[in-house]
Chains A and B, each alone.
Chain A
Amino acid sequence: MTPAGPSARPAARRFPAWLGWAIALGLLALLWLFGSGAFPWAFDYPKALRIPAARWITAFTKWLLNEATFGLFTFSEFTRFIAAMLDVPYRFVLSLISTGFLRGEGSQAVQILPPLSWVALIGSGALLGRYAGGWRLAALVAGCLAFVLVFGQWQSAMVTLASILVAVPLGVAGGLLLGVLAFRHPWFERAIRPVLDLMQTIPVFAYLVPILILFGFGPTAAVVATLIYAMPPMTRITELALRRVPSELTDLGHMVGCTRRQMMWRVMIPSSKDALMVGVNQVIMLSLNMVIIASMIGAGGLGFDVLAALRRLDFGAGLEAGFAIVALAVALDRLSQAFAHLRPEPAAGTGLAARHPYLISGLALILGAGIAGAAVPALQTWPEALELSTGTFWSSVVEWINVNFFDTIEAVKNAVLLNLLVPFKRFLGGLPWAGVTALLAWAGWRLGGWRLAALVAALAFLIAATDQWEKAAITVYLCGISTLFAMLIGIPLGILSAEREGVWTPVRVIIDTLQTLPSFVYLMPAVMLFRVGDFTAMIAVVAYALVPAVRYTVLGLKGVDPRLIEAGQAMGCTRGQILRRIKLRLALPEILLGLNQTVMFALSMLVITALVGTRDLGQEVYIALTKADPGRGIVAGLAVAFIAIITDRLISASARAARARLGLEAA
């Protein structure tokens, strides 16, 4: 912390800040209350001046898919080539763990080598766990896989695992490289930031149809869609982590004569490993989050089981398949975390077996299990008779709650809905677009200067000009309220978790569960209790958007330099003072990144909430998908992204302003 003087902008000096805000808000209120007669165009964007972006985009996609060419080969041949490249590792992994190695295709394929049996896979998982993190981790990994096995989800889980095992390393590597580039070159950082926002916020459904045409129908297209969605957090976190590397370390690197490359890969990346692992965690979680959508475009696996179960209202089966996804997520995440902290041990002996005890025992296990599996079929495939199932238990639980408590729940829901949600929705829906755009521009100018003002005004104008304003207002209402609730629950939970390790362990399990358990699993029981509509949608969004609020708060608080805390203690600060005066302030960049991500997560849930009957931009994207109209979908998707970018830029700018005011150096 350096005592950098507050560098207030000249604009802020002319009159007191609150007065400017009061005048701006007052003008908006006047326009809102009395302007509808004088300026009808400010409320309804004139039809004649609409930008037919949807038509242009549809035409462009048609051209791209059918005609675009690089001379030697067409654009779609190029993307098909990429798909074929991605298919090679995918097929290999799938053969290894699920289908076995086959000759031929379809129903006539002949198996020439069986897949790894459950004995071999659980055993290898446990060995990896033992190697990277000791017996506890071994037991955890084996336990997760055994859960999948005994609940009869093994086949589907292996299909899902295969696509995850291909998508995650690609996502991590790609994200890391982009992050390093963004750190090195400020122009690249500026260029990639809007792209990342678009990747994360345009609902997948919006670009699903073009992706299917370009990459073919099947698991590879699903991997591509997963990569687009899951990579951005890795890039963001890489960049942030590299910036936080203490300057002492880089100075040391310079003194010992590191080259640029050595500095990056030997000094900076290893020293920011903890933060990078949060990125890896996010890639794993988001990839698993795509499992449902991936299953809709031919990836099959657990996502398909969840969808099919919920369509029969078989909550138990849906929950079992959903928790199988969570079990995979927990196993993969904990393994990857342990590998990151692994310190190479010196070899115990000199023989081959002594130097590679795990490799040798793993190979022995696989070979042994293969032979045993050939002899005893139950060791190759878990017998159906021994599968467990919760049967109708969960459906009965929901029925019991429904029959006994529905009236109470309905009363609470109606109170919230009629007193909070509906008035807020009406209020936002009634605001004139021109007034809101002007207010946003003013906020942008106050917080970050005319560039920011121009950006937010242009984006807000584009939403209105492409006829998305009304749906955008509903989107802002739903996501705004959900984000508010998510932050209100998430930040205190994060603070508590960072302060007490005993709280963090269960909270971590809960947020991992919330992030990977397909929302569909709890959305349908929620519909039974809360009916379709905004309230149910809000529950689903809050449950999902809570995750980054907690995670980034914890990351920020734990990352505070312990020397500063010691200094605080030495000066006699109480625990509460240390938390408020030191930790929370220093963790502000991460908490704001958490807020940013909470908004992004909330927006990314729009597609799911469309499934319970909201009328927002998510629904528009969904309708466009069903009408196979890429232009309409992408325009609505872009409107979602614009809302995200406006929010993100304004939050970042106000954070910078706040830090400058507090005398904290801008990160």
Chain B
Amino acid sequence: MTTTLLKRSLAASAFALMAGAGWAQESSDPIKLTLHDWTGQLITTQIMGEVLKQAGYNVEYVQADYLAQFAGLESGDLHVAMEMWETTGRDAMDASTATGKTEVFGPTGMKAKEEWWYPTYMKEKCPGLPNWEALKDEACAEAFSTAETAPKGRYLGGPVTWGGFDDERVEALDLPFEVIHAGTDAALFAELESAYQRQAPIMLWIYAPHWAPAKYEGEWVEFPEYTAECYNDPAWGSNPDSAYDCGKPFGEIWKVGWAGVKDKWPGAYAAVKAFTIDNDEMGQMITEVDLNGKTVEQVTADWMAANEGRWKGWIGQ
């Protein structure tokens, strides 16, 4: 709705009477935080939103697609996106910040871990794991094969849109595997669930923080550690003629938002920038929600109660 000036000033004065907090005089328009469709992001956003409410800001949660949201952030229809993963959202984020209409609000403190992953029961068939060189063994690769890929092993990669250079990695490390791309991460975990129920072979792309490593017993394959040279310089690593002969990078998870936040709500801007949380905390909260059936609100409230000193620091109290 196009808010009329009258309504706005009414709301503002009503609010000033109620809260009386100094900062919130900035602007009483709602700060719009985007919600996506995975639990971790809902928790991060909810924590940020509740903290901003404590500081007297007007907050609104808007459901938006992870990548399509940039259109809204650029136009100022949306304001803050709490999780933009280096590993999956970097291109879109760079394209958007290049317009000057959005800016990165710093890292969340969480690190995205992404790598080839297998359930523990596969170790019996492939005893050399988690060392990646075990995968070169043909018997081991065949243990991971299906009718379509045999005799090569089947590796279920992430959606094409995630990048990840798995086709290149298989080539560079000369692994007898075929990369099949899942279209979406729901499909990825559906396949894992299916295989795990049957204790059937599977090798796939798993990322953290996520509930899957908590629910299923398994490990990440240990590839040669990622360095920037590995991706850029063919000479680096075990294969002198080819780049990507190493594992995937760890990535920051960034906060991004509309460039106008700084001027419209300077206090909130500082609070969003100050927000940090780490992988272990987040992993526990995700597990509480997705596996133990608590609601996001409950988990957020518990965190707020336990960490009062921390979040009060973000809003300068």
Contacts and interface: CB of A to CB of B under 8 A. Distances in A.
B75 interface: yes
Contact of A216 (B77, B180, B290): B77
Nearest to B192: A313
Contacts of B194: 402, 406, 527-529, 531
Interface stretch (B65-73, B103-111, B130-138, B243-251): B65-73
Contacts of A208: 68
B7 A610 contact: no
Interface string B191-215: 1011001101000000000010000
A298 B38 contact: no
Contacts of B53: 107
B45 interface: no
B145 interface: no
B292 interface: no
B198 A402 contact: yes
A480 interface: no
A217 B60 CA distance: 13
A418 B149 CA distance: 11
A628 B161 contact: no
A110 interface: yes
B118 to A, nearest CB: 16
Most buried by B among A217, A311, A627: A217
B96 A524 contact: no
Contacts of B2: 84, 87
Interface in A511-538: 520, 523-525, 527-529, 531-533
Contacts of A619: 160, 183
Interface in B151-191: 156, 159-161, 180-187, 189-191
Nearest to B184: A611
A658 B187 CA distance: 44
A649 interface: no
B290 A528 contact: no
Interface residues of B, number: 65
Interface stretch (B9-17, B119-127, B230-238): B9-17
A525 B39 CA distance: 20
A528 B190 contact: yes
A577 interface: no
A57 B16 CA distance: 48
A611 B60 CA distance: 30
B129 interface: no
B299 interface: no
Interface in A617-667: 619, 622-623, 625-628
B37 A304 contact: yes
Grouping DSSP codes into helix (H, G, I), strand (E, B) and loop, the A interface class, with mixed when no group exceeds half, is: helix
B147 interface: yes
A105 interface: yes
Contact of B60 (A91, A106, A628): A106
A531 B202 CA distance: 11
Contact of B211 (A218, A300, A312, A533): A312
Nearest to A411: B147
Contact of B72 (A84, A216, A402, A418): A216
B183 A614 contact: yes
Contacts of B96: 628
Interface stretch (B27-35, B217-225, B268-276, B309-317): B27-35
Contacts of A523: 187
B277 interface: no
A613 B180 contact: yes
B64 to A, nearest CB: 5
A108 B15 contact: yes
B263 interface: no
A614 B182 CA distance: 8
Interface string A484-524: 00000000000000000000000000000000000010011
Given A104-B10, A108-B58, A311 B65 contact: no
B301 interface: no
B167 to A, nearest CB: 12
B161 A626 contact: yes
B58 A107 contact: yes
Nearest to B190: A527
Contacts of B112: none
A95 to B, nearest CB: 10
Nearest to A159: B63
A525 B147 CA distance: 21
A44 interface: no
Nearest to A107: B59
A299 interface: yes
Interface string A98-123: 00000111111110000000000000
A371 interface: no
Given A213-B74, A627-B91, A628-B70, A218 B191 contact: no
Contacts of B65: 296-297
B146 interface: yes
A579 interface: no
A618 to B, nearest CB: 9
3 tightest Cβ-Cβ pairs between the two chains A and B: A106-B30, A217-B72, A104-B11
Interface of A: 84, 87-88, 91, 103-110, 208-209, 212-213, 216-218, 295-300, 304, 307-308, 310-313, 399, 402-403, 406, 410, 414, 417-418, 520, 523-525, 527-529, 531-533, 609-615, 619, 622-623, 625-628
18 contacts: A103-B14, A104-B14, A108-B11, A216-B72, A216-B77, A217-B64, A399-B197, A527-B186, A531-B146, A532-B156, A533-B148, A533-B180, A611-B186, A612-B187, A615-B160, A623-B160, A627-B91, A627-B161
Given A84-B2, A527-B186, 18 more contacts: A104-B28, A106-B30, A108-B14, A108-B30, A209-B71, A213-B74, A311-B38, A399-B197, A406-B198, A410-B147, A524-B187, A524-B190, A531-B191, A533-B148, A533-B180, A611-B187, A619-B160, A628-B70
